[in-house]
Structure 1
């Protein structure tokens, strides 16, 4: 009888372990591999969402200023970016980082702020496994920070500006904001002057826990633990280490935090510990009524004004 009970218990354990393992692989594939992505890199979708882009894009294209480039990352994979030089930039440059499952063209409305209103050079990378960049697995901003830092290192050459004359801001939205914050905690060149993060999450763990609860009504244990282990084994990083919160705590350069007060995808509550963890100088704007990644759409004039004032203060020629 005892033997039968033990065999039954062992079978139950095996079934549970198998179910959790299968669930973990499903979760990883669902979030990082099989997530549908906007592969269309034309400007049509951006213009459809933001018609004010048309004349600016047409002007850049007429001048031959809006270009594509491919580079080989230190990992050996090819990465793509859109860029445009400004004859009036005098070294002022913006690196603009898109969100989860999107691509570089989704940041064109932000690029217009920098290029049209501020006369900046602009560089819009496609993150790993997005747009025209190679890869299959989404890196949630963590390993992406290394790619963005590589682009930052290439910027003086791309824009034909000596490093000691360059003044660069990194501005990201959603996963791009998480990437921006992850970059901020690393040692960046002196010409990186400031950061703008718009609706980024505290950590991949926190964001996936939020989604696991809201989308699937499941607790963190055990799936998030085992899925993080799967990611560690397959891709070399874990949900816990991918922490913008820990990274901003190490950042000494200025950062502007933007978050809609009606954001339920990356909950608005996440911005407060991020802001508290970041040493001065810093600035916070809680955007009334805006859902996830829609602060610019909902408050265009104010968004342009606040971003312009922030970067002009911290990315000016005197800094």
Structure 2
């Protein structure tokens, strides 16, 4: 009987570890990462983005204080006193936000595009659902201030990057960090995994996710309890712009409604009929107007 129980326990551990690797290893497609919705960009956005990509960029490096991984970013210097740090989403790299980087570049701000842990040219084995990335974002903020100590800093994140910029608000941030823009962010790793378990596999997965979270604690250094954006926002004081699309089936629009009820801080909201992180593609004028209004109000 003991041998049978040990075998069953080993099987459970192996299964949970396999799920952990499927979800959190570099290049994971568990949440549709890398499978960008096919949405045609509004007229002019492709050309403007291509022009932005031709601009000279400085290559910046940092070493993660969390686990020592070497991380890389690309800095576009517009001789501005404001720098926007863009944080990408799950299973992609900084190039996924080139069109958004172009937006801030066109407004005259400096732009820092980063590759997160386990993405693009940065080192790292495991994705952090925003938790590891939020700790690394603190390091990137300090990297900006080491070069440009008087700059105002704007944090922009999309999807998991949006969770990242929300999670970072629970820490003590330098006064240079002025505001946050989140596009298509989820409430927590537990919530988004529960949603996809039900959507894709028609199971609730409550105990499965708890088990995977335990493996994540042992192998990646954090449990999913560390990824709760609602708890982080309860501590936040910075202005936040929440941007979501009604037809987002990667991060459901209902999560935006929950995020909007959290904390006591200045906020604005924007909504479109867009899919995941694609509102700017098909509603670029309203999207940009909203961003500019928010920046004018709070920067």
Whether these two folds match at TM > 0.5 is yes
Bigger Cα displacement from structure 2, 20-29 vs 121-130: 20-29
Q: Does 1:135 align with 2:119?
A: no
Which residue in 2 is equivalent to 1:298? 282
1:285 shift after superposition: 1.4
Q: How far off its partner does 1:18 sit?
A: 4.3
Structure 1 residue 221 corresponds to structure 2 residue 206: yes
Q: CA deviation at 1:67?
A: 2.4
Correspondence 1:121 to 2:110? yes
In the alignment, does 2:59 pair up with 1:68? yes
CA deviation after TM superposition for structure 1 residue 167, in Å: 1.1
1:94 partner SS: strand
Name the Cα RMSD after superposition: 1.9
Aligned to 1:156: 145
2:42 aligns with none
Tell me by how many angstroms 1:303 deviates.
Answer: 0.9
The answer on whether the counterparts of 2:84 and 2:111 sit within 8 Å (CA) in structure 1 is: yes
**Structure 1 stretch displaced more, 175-184 or 237-246:** 237-246
The 1-side partners of 2:255 and 2:285 are apart by: 25
**Alignment pair present for 1:109 and 2:94:** no
**What are the ranges of 5 or more consecutive residues in structure 1 without an aligned counterpart?**
1-6, 39-48
Q: Give yes or no for the alignment of 1:244 onto 2:229.
A: yes
The aligned counterpart of 1:81 is 73
Going from structure 1 to structure 2, the CA distance change for 1:99 and 1:50 (only over 3 Å counts) comes to farther
The answer to whether the 8 Å contact 1:169/1:311 transfers is: no
- Given the alignment, which residue of 28, 49, 52 partners 2:20? 28
Give the Å deviation of 1:14: 5.5
Q: CA deviation at 1:236?
A: 1.6
Change (3 A) 1:70 1:273: same
Looking at structure 2, the residues matched to 228 and 85 of structure 1 have their Cα atoms a distance apart, in angstroms, of 40
Select which of 285, 293, 298 maps to 1:309: 293
Give the number of the structure whose alpha-carbon radius of gyration is greater.
1
* TM-score normalised by length of structure 1: 0.84
Distance across 2 between alignment mates of 1:168 and 1:79: 19
After superposition, the Cα gap between the structure-2 partners of 1:148 and 1:194, relative to the gap in structure 1 and judged at 3 Å, is: same
Residues in 2 aligned to 1:19 and 1:222: alpha-carbon distance in whole angstroms: 15
Aligned partner of 1:283 in structure 2 is 268
| Cα displacement (A) at 1:226 | 0.9
Unaligned runs of 5+ in 2: 35-44
CA distance in 2, matches of 1:307, 1:244: 22
Give me the whole-angstrom Cα distance separating, in 2, the residues matched to 1:154 and 1:56. 23
Deviation at 1:109, TM superposition (A): 1.1
Residues 217/120 of structure 1: CA separation in 2 closer, same or farther (3 Å cut) = same
Give the number of equivalent residue pairs. Answer: 284
2:157 equivalent to 1:191: no
Please tell me whether the aligned partners of residues 207 and 266 of structure 1 are also in contact (alpha carbons under 8 angstroms): yes
Divergent runs of 4+, >3 A: 10-20
Q: Give the CA deviation at 1:19.
A: 4.3
Give 2:87's aligned residue. 97
| Aligned counterparts of 1:129 and 1:122: Cα–Cα separation in 2 | 21
